[in-house]
Amino acid sequence: MITVIAARELRSLFLSPLAWTLLAVVQGLLAWMFLLLVDDFRELQGRLASLDNAPGVTDLVAAPLFRVAAWVLLLLVPLLTMRLFSEERRTRTLDLLLSAPVAMSEIVLGKYLGVLAFLLMTVALITLMPLSLALGATLDAGKLLAGILGLSLLAAAAAAAGVYLSTLTTQPAVAAIATMGLLLALWMVDAASTIPGTAGDLFGYLSLRRHYDAFLLGLFDSADLAYYLLFGMAFLGLAIRRLDDLRLRD
């Protein structure tokens, strides 16, 4: 049942120009970024050769590219998740799902996985850029994989937040803005981690960015993995509760 809902969600994304436009814009922006990074690397190459233990092409091209990609994804995810429930509530198509023999958790997970599939496709397309460097250079596979995993986890966590926020309103635009606000706040809360004491540590731990940066350095810490999984599950759980609650309210 989950796959039925996920497949419809993914299909309907590609039936609208929104998904195609987002893909095109993301690819365009990141391709430009990629080109600049490769250019910089070419200029630096001579000097790097004389250094011991110099950063490689993965550190100088792939990691910065993924850092920008994270930003772009944070702006893109809200636009993908905004319609999920708000539009169905507005056009009353949610009634079909609610009267079908499907559990609330299946509805939420189905929709979530539909969007997640789209996001993973985007991540795959982004990854193709640094991968193309393998034609002429040696890539650090470990670092690249850590980067891909980090970006995927970030996208998955952000999408879960978007799913929940879209159950709160019947207006997609409101859901999008709220999701964007939440994600950017959690990204920037890192700045508050300089506060001494536990408050600073807490802000640092909450930050989406702190955990992502670890992946980009090639560090795979299960604490970071746990952070993203917990983040995602918490919001999906809230979405299921909210959907159940809606039947009591409207």
Binding residues vs other proteins (CB under 8 A):
1, 4-5, 8, 11-12, 15-16, 91-103, 247-248, 250
Q: Alpha-carbon distance 22 to 75, whole Å?
A: 10
Closest distance of CB 165 from other proteins, Å: 22
**In 3D, which of 115, 119, 100 has the Cα closest to residue 8?**
115
Q: Looking at beta carbons only, is 91 or 132 nearer to other proteins?
A: 91
Q: Looking at beta carbons only, is 42 or 92 nearer to other proteins?
A: 92
Tokens of 225: 């993995």
Q: Alpha-carbon distance 97 to 100, whole Å?
A: 5
Tokens of 116: 């997640």
Tokens of 43: 């200029």
Q: Looking at beta carbons only, is 106 or 190 nearer to other proteins?
A: 106
Closest distance of CB 243 from other proteins, Å: 11
CA 185 to chain centre: 15
Closest distance of CB 75 from other proteins, Å: 24
Q: Looking at beta carbons only, is 41 or 112 nearer to other proteins?
A: 112
Closest distance of CB 19 from other proteins, Å: 12
* DSSP annotation of 1: -
